[in-house]
Amino acid sequence: MKAIAALHEELEATEGPASVVLARFVRSHTFPIVEGDTATFFYYDGHPLDGVVLRHWVFGLSSDQPFLRLPGTNAFFLVLQLPHKGRIEYKLEVHRHGERRWLRDPLNPRQAFDPFGSNSVCPMPGYREPAWALPDPHARQGRITAFKLSSEVYGDERRVRIYLPYEYHPHRAYPLIICHDGSDYLRFAGIKNVLDNLITRHELLPLIVAFVDGHDRNREFGADPRQPQYLVDEVLPAVQERYRLLDDPRARGLMGASFGGVSSLFCAWNHPGVFGQLLLQSGSFVFTDVGEHGRGPLWDPVVAFVNDFRRDPARIQARAFMSCGTFESLIAYNRALVPVMRQAGLAVRFREAHDGHNWIAWRDQLRDGLTWLFPGHLWMTYD
């Protein structure tokens, strides 16, 4: 805010054109301007425009935050207070000549990617990109391979990608995690880097990950009875045929984000005792105590399942690591599920972060989640 106040003063004092002052201001700052716990978003492209709106996914704030115009200029700004460790993804909506255009913040080079494209990113001063999530040239590299699976359940052919840890030995048995939205975890959450780094540091047991994708994702992952059947009757045996797996539910896990979290829990619920470890990120665990959920028909089976699950959570016979962003509308549902599961005797670890419903937020929780479910021998191994 100090920066904008200083700019305002300078604009008032200048006798020359405002454009010169504004151009200098843009050159001499990085954007958004973060001062303490406030972030100042700024837009100026030198051309006339009618307005700017911040489009973001911070639950609790109005999703469209209008910018203020600096008097007498075509420059706009918005000041937001955000948590010290917060991180938000956003776009700008620029209004010009009656048209509204969404764009990434042209003054901010930081971007995050997802299946729909990319967003601008505003990290607050307390947010640190974890070193274990970034490529490390000294990490021992696992490898990704793949096979095709002819699915009777879905009546089509599907690709299953496999992560094998470094120095994978065919004679040795490994734990397995089946990962929903595998392609997105690989592409947008950099999960291979995470696995390589954590295994190299002995924080995580060497394990195999089977990455699966949905063809009609929202329907298949939304408590669709075909998905547990597909994973248990087709994917699991196909992986077992090709690789040696530890024959113990505690060595078998499921993971996923959003609807992938629902599908993981739904699968464990439908096949109790098969999967003993669950990693559920921003699970879309919407439930109702009374009345309608109001989220559309796609959610009907999800809500029905979560309502059933809340009545008998112990049926899943699994440990669960759950995480959710405090900027998500799902935070309340996730928080509400934790005590229900704990009261039923399930081991649950729950983590919150000041972030949203996005792949970087899910990446940033992978260390806590994976290493809690499959801890390596980090204290004892020195090689």
Partner 1 sequence: MSAPVLILGPQRPTPNLRAHLDRCVEPGLVALITAGWRHDEDEVGPLHKHIGRPLEHLRLYAIMDQVLREAPDLARAYHARQARILAYKEVYRISLRAAFNAVRELRRQAPIDPELFQPDLEDAFEALRQIDTRLLRRVQEIHEAHAEVAAPYLDHPAVQRARARILAELEPARALLLAGGHVGVLRNRLRFFGLEEAICALPSQGVPVFCWSAGAMVLTERVVLFYDDPPHGHGEAEVLGEGFGLLPGMVLLPHARLRLDLADEERVALFAGRFSPRICVGLEPGAALELDPATGTIVDHSLPRSVFCLQPDGSLADGGPP
Q: d(Cα 118, Cα 89) in Å, to the nearest integer?
A: 9
Using the rule CB under 8 A, is 347 a contact of partner 1? no
**Nearer Cβ to partner 1, position 27 or 377?**
377
**Nearer Cβ to partner 1, position 115 or 375?**
375
Question: Strand, coil or helix: what is 156?
Answer: strand
Judged by CB under 8 A, the residue of 167, 216, 248, 312 near partner 1 is 167
- Let me know: does 179 contact 256? Beta carbons within 8 Å: yes
Judged by CB under 8 A, the residue of 69, 95, 110, 140 near partner 1 is 140
**Nearer Cβ to partner 1, position 241 or 383?**
383
Q: d(Cα 370, Cα 321) in Å, to the nearest integer?
A: 8
Of the candidate spans 151-159, 185-193, 305-313, 367-375, the one that interacts with partner 1 by CB under 8 A turns out to be 367-375
Question: Strand, coil or helix: what is 258?
Answer: coil
Of the candidate spans 3-11, 71-79, 164-172, 252-260, the one that interacts with partner 1 by CB under 8 A turns out to be 164-172
**Nearer Cβ to partner 1, position 108 or 141?**
141
**Nearer Cβ to partner 1, position 292 or 383?**
383
Q: How far is CA 331 from CA 27, 113, 325, 352, in A?
A: 39, 22, 6, 8
**Nearer Cβ to partner 1, position 167 or 248?**
167
Judged by CB under 8 A, the residue of 98, 138, 296, 297 near partner 1 is 138
Using the rule CB under 8 A, is 128 a contact of partner 1? no
**Nearer Cβ to partner 1, position 28 or 381?**
381
Omega of the bond leading into 170 within 30 degrees of 0 (cis)? no
Which burial class, exposed, middle or buried, applies to 242 when counting CB atoms under 10 A from its CB (0-12, 13-18, 19+)?
middle
Using the rule CB under 8 A, is 85 a contact of partner 1? no
Q: d(Cα 316, Cα 161) in Å, to the nearest integer?
A: 26
Using the rule CB under 8 A, is 368 a contact of partner 1? yes
The count of C-alpha atoms lying within 13 angstroms of the C-alpha of 77, restricted to the half-sphere facing its C-beta, is 21
**Nearer Cβ to partner 1, position 95 or 342?**
342
Long-range contacts of 202-205 (CB under 8 A, 24+ apart): 202/376, 202/377, 202/378, 202/381, 203/132, 203/367, 203/371, 203/375, 203/376, 203/378, 204/370, 204/371, 204/374, 204/375, 204/376, 205/175, 205/374, 205/375, 205/376
- Report 203-262 residues binding partner 1 (CB under 8 A): 203
Write out the two tokens for 143. 């490898």
Using the rule CB under 8 A, is 172 a contact of partner 1? yes
Using the rule CB under 8 A, is 372 a contact of partner 1? yes
Write out the two tokens for 280. 């559920």
Judged by CB under 8 A, the residue of 100, 159, 169, 226 near partner 1 is 169
Cβ 372 to partner 1, closest distance in Å? 6
Q: Which residues of the chain form contacts with partner 1 (CB under 8 A)?
A: 138, 140, 167, 169, 172, 201, 203, 367-368, 371-372, 375, 377-383
